[in-house]
Structure 1
Amino acid sequence: MNILTFFAYEHLPKHLQVVSKPFCDTANHVVDTLPDNEERSVCLRKLLEAKDCAVRAQLGGK
């Protein structure tokens, strides 16, 4: 499965889309500009982890 699938955000509620979209944009930029190698894969995995944390932070709110 392509890791970019996990950066999709259109299915999320609007308040989570605004958090998730910049990560999707960045992931696509990484894929479009960096060579396909192990470091790019690590970069995308860490970006996905950061996106998940940001979404959870938004869900946690105050």
Structure 2
Amino acid sequence: MRDLSERHLSTQQIARYFEYAHLKTPLRQVSQRCHDLAEQMIGDLPDGPELTAGLRKLLEAKDCFVRASLDTAQEGPTS
């Protein structure tokens, strides 16, 4: 995530949960897509309650997507 030191504290705090480098593939790929969208929204929109709410909902969605990806990775390839 880019330098957010000039952004509101709530934006800074939630942005850290979009990091993905620690994850293994395919979880990393799924998480990176949400990270990229979060970074774009932070870059395009002003700080405020709606940005924070949107990022929180995106974070919840990212967690679901990563869990779905984890389930797929454990099942192995489909025939």
- Please, which of 6, 10, 25 is the counterpart of residue 21 of structure 2? 10
Alpha-carbon separation, structure 2, partners of 1:59 and 1:51: 12
- Give aligned pairs, total: 62
Q: Which runs of 5+ in 2 are unaligned?
A: 1-11
Measured against aligned partners, the alpha-carbon deviations of 1:9-31 in whole angstroms (never above 9, x if no partner) come to 00000211111101000101111
Q: Which runs of 5+ in 1 are unaligned?
A: none
- Please, which of 33, 38, 41 is the counterpart of residue 44 of structure 2? 33
TM-score by length of 2: 0.74
Greater percentage in helix: 1
TM-score by length of 1: 0.92
Which structure has the greater CA radius of gyration? 2
Alignment RMSD: 1.1
Higher relative contact order (CA 8 A, sep 6+): 1
Consecutive aligned runs of 4 or more in structure 1 exceeding 4 Å deviation:
none
Superposed, 1:41-60 pairs within 5 Å as 41-60=52-71
Alpha-carbon separation, structure 2, partners of 1:36 and 1:4: 12
